[in-house]
Amino acid sequence: MKIKVMSSAALLLSLCMSVTATAGNKLDVGIISETEAVEETEETTEEAEENEEREEKETAENTVKASSDVPTDEYGNPLTGKDLICYNTLKKYAKWGAKPIEASYGESANTEGTISTMQKNITFGSGDLFWLRRYSFSDASEERYNGSIFLPGSTVEIRAYDFSTESWFYTLNTENVIPKEVIFLDTDKYHMVLGLPAVYKNNEFTCNTLTVVPEEEQPIKLVKAEGGYNVNFSFPHNPAYIGEIWCLESGRVLADWKNTDLFALLRMDLASNRRFSYDGYYFQTPDNYSPGGKNILYRQPSNYTGSALINYSNIPVAYDLGYATTYICAGNQNEEGFWPTGPQSEWLYSDFGITSGFYDTRFNTDFASNLIAAYRLYYDEYFLKALLTYGDFFNEHAKANHYETQNGGWLIEDYRGQEGYRRTHCSLNHLLAEMDVLYKISYITGVKSYKETADNMLKGIEDTKDDWIMPDGNLYYALYYTGTLELTDYPYLTYNDLYTTQQILSTYYHYTNDTLAELMEIKKAWMDANNITGYYTTQKVVN
C-alpha cells in the first residue's frame, strides 16, 4: 500500500470541487439547447453572425468550466476507480457537514555514530503529536543507551494501570518506581501518554514476529529539571537488540481524570501480552503457532486496542491513539488486499496444508470493521481506500473459495493459504462478520458488488439453516469440517454477530431476516439454559 502523502488540507480543498451531470451521467458542458436559440428568420444576417459567435464562445467557455469540474489527481489526471469512489463518497458526507481529520503523517531516519533511529510521526490539527521511534546499534557497550524527553511543568501526576496488581498506580513523587506499563503523565503545562521502553531481539522478525526480552526492559524515570522534568528511558546498547518507545504528547488535557469512567476505559495492555510496535499491533502467539513461545508476539491482522479506543472518541487520548494505531496498522495491507497472519498455524497446516502468511477471514474482517469505524469518525480517504481494496479482494476470494448451496447461496471458506492447500470449513461467526462489513461498505460507498456478495452469503445461510442447529440446541461452529479438532461454538459471540447482522438489515435496508431470527432464538435459548451472559439484548450496535 502506498503511504498517504496528501495532507488533510489538500483533501478538504479537493472536496470543494463538484461534478455537474445530466441524464445518462454525461457531463453538462453548457451547450445551448435548440429552444434557447433565436429563430433565424427573426434575425438579420449580422445579428445571426453575432449570435453564432457568442454561442460558440459560451460553448467553449462552458466546456472549459465543465472539464475543470471533473475531479483530478495532483497531476491533473481525471480520477478513476477507487480514487473516484473515494472522492464521491467523501463529497457525499461533506454535504452533511463531515470534515476529514486534520492530520499529517511522516517518517524519518537518522544515524549518529553507532546509533540509528527510525521514527514515525502523526501531527494532529489540534497540535497533538504521536511519535514512535525504533533504535538500533552497530556496536556493543556495557553501558545502556540513555534517552530523554522533556516534559514542561512545575508539578506532575503519574498514572498507570498495573496489570501485575490489577490496580491503578498513582503518585506525585518522581522517586517512586514506575510500573513497566503505559504511563500517563500530567503536569500543569503539558500532557503525555508514554509506551513502555520495549526491547526486542534484533533480526528475529521471522513471519512478522517479535521476540520480547523482558529482563532487558526498564521503566521510565522522571528527574526534575529547569522548567519541567526529564523523562528518561534506556535500552541495552547492543546490536543483538532493538529498542522502541512511543509517545502521545499535547499542550491540552488528554485525559480528564475527574471522569472516573476513564479508569476502566484506559486500561491498555500494551506492555506485556500485547504491544504496539513500529509496524503495527502485536499479540501473544497461540500455542500452536510457529514460530511461537512465551515471549514471541506476532503481528495481528486486527487492531483490537485501537478499535476499542475509537468508540470513546470524545476523550482526546482515545481519539488520537485510535487514529494513530489504525493508520499504522492499515499500512500492512499486502498487494492482494488483505492483512496476512505471519506465523504458521500447526492446526491449519496439518488439516489443510496452509503455511505461514495465510489469510484469516475473521481477523481481517475485524480490522475492516475497525477501518469502517475509523472512516466514519475521521473521514480519512486513506481508511476508505484500504476498505475498498479489501472489499475487492474479498469479493474475489468469495467467488473462488465458496461452497454453493441448493438455491445458489455461497458459504465462504474461513482461510486461504498459498498454492496447493486443501479447502477449509465455513464458520457461522466468520460468515456473519464478513456480511456485516460488506453491507456497510456498500452502504457507505454505493458500490453494489459488495452487497451482492453479502446477499449470496445470506442465501447460503438460509439454505443451510437446519444444518447449523445442534441436537442440544446450541449452534455448530462450522460446516464442512472433518479435521483433527472439535470446533465448539463461542458462548455468545455468534449470537452477537447474528444480532448485528439483523440490525444492519433493519437500519440500512429496512427489513429483517427470518432465518437469522430463528437461529438467534435457538442460540439464546441455549445460552439462557446454560447461564451464559454478556450477549447483546436491546443495545443499538449499528450506526
| pLDDT tens by residue, 141-160 | 999 999 999 999 999 999 99
Three cell numbers written together for 257? 481524570
Interacting residues of 353 by C-beta distance below 8 A, sequence separation 6+: 417, 420, 421, 422
Could you tell me where in the chain the CATH 1.50.10.20 domains are found? 338-543
Does position 175 have pLDDT exceeding 50, yes or no? yes
For helices 361-378 and 428-445, angle between their N-to-C axes, nearest 10 degrees: 30
Q: What angle do CA 371, 375, 379 make, to 5 degrees?
A: 155
Q: What is the distance between the alpha carbons of residues 480 and 473, in angstroms, rounded to a whole number?
A: 19
Reported as a pLDDT band with limits 50, 70 and 90, residue 523 is very high
Q: Where are the alpha helices (DSSP H) in 331-421?
A: 346-352, 361-378, 381-400
pLDDT band at 272 (very low <50, low <70, confident <90, very high): confident
Confidence band of 5 (pLDDT split at 50, 70, 90): very low
Q: Are 452 and 437 in contact (CB under 8 A)?
A: no
Mean pLDDT, range 287-298, rounded to an integer: 95
pLDDT of residue 14: 37
Q: Of residues 3 and 259, which shows the higher confidence score?
A: 259
Answer CATH for 338-543 from 1.10.10.60, 1.10.1060.10, 2.40.30.10, 1.50.10.20: 1.50.10.20
> Can you list the positions of beta strands (E) in 219-263?
221-225, 228-235, 241-250
* CA–CA dist 276, 324 (Å, integer): 11
Residue 286 preceded by cis peptide, ω within 30: no
Give the predicted TM-score (pTM) of the model. Answer: 0.86
DSSP lists the bridge partners of residue 21 as 27
∠ Cα 341 347 282 (to 5°): 30
Q: Rounded CA gap, 372 and 447, in Å?
A: 15
As a whole number of angstroms, the distance between CA 521 and CA 514 comes to: 11
Residue located via cell numbers 480528564: 256
User: For 225, phi and psi rounded to 5 degrees?
Assistant: -140, 170
Residue 69 — very low, low, confident or very high, per pLDDT cuts 50/70/90? low
Q: Residue 221 has what pLDDT?
A: 98
Residue 286: Cβ within 10 Å count: 12
- Confidence at 54, pLDDT banded by 50, 70, 90: low
What's the rounded Cα separation, in Å, for the pair 193 and 160? Answer: 10
Confidence band, pLDDT 50/70/90 cuts, at residue 495: very high
* DSSP-assigned beta bridge partners for residue 326: none
CA-to-CA dists, residue 265 to 161, 310, 312, 443, angstroms: 11, 11, 8, 30
* Under 8 Å between Cβ of 318 and 265: yes
Q: Find all residues with CB under 8 Å of 386, minimum gap 6, and list them.
A: 1, 330, 333, 371
What secondary structure does DSSP assign to 395-453, as a single string?
Answer: HHHHHHSEEE-TTS-EEE-SEE-STTPPP--EEHHHHHHHHHHHHHHHHHH--HHHHHH
Band (49; pLDDT cuts 50, 70, 90):
low
Average pLDDT of the chain to the nearest whole number: 89
- The number of beta carbons lying within 10 Å of the beta carbon of residue 195 is 22
**Cα separation of 500 and 145, whole Å?**
50
CA distance 126 to 141: 41
- Comparing 16 with 314, the larger pLDDT belongs to 314
Higher pLDDT, 413 or 37: 413
Cell numbers of 440, please? 456497510
- For residue 27, pLDDT over 90 is answered with no
pLDDT attached to residue 53: 57
pLDDT tens digits for range 441-459: 999 999 999 999 999 999 9
Give CA separation, 293 vs 211, 298, 343, in Å.
9, 10, 12
Mean pLDDT for 15-37 is 31
Percent of the chain at pLDDT above 90? 85
* Confidence (pLDDT) at 276: 97
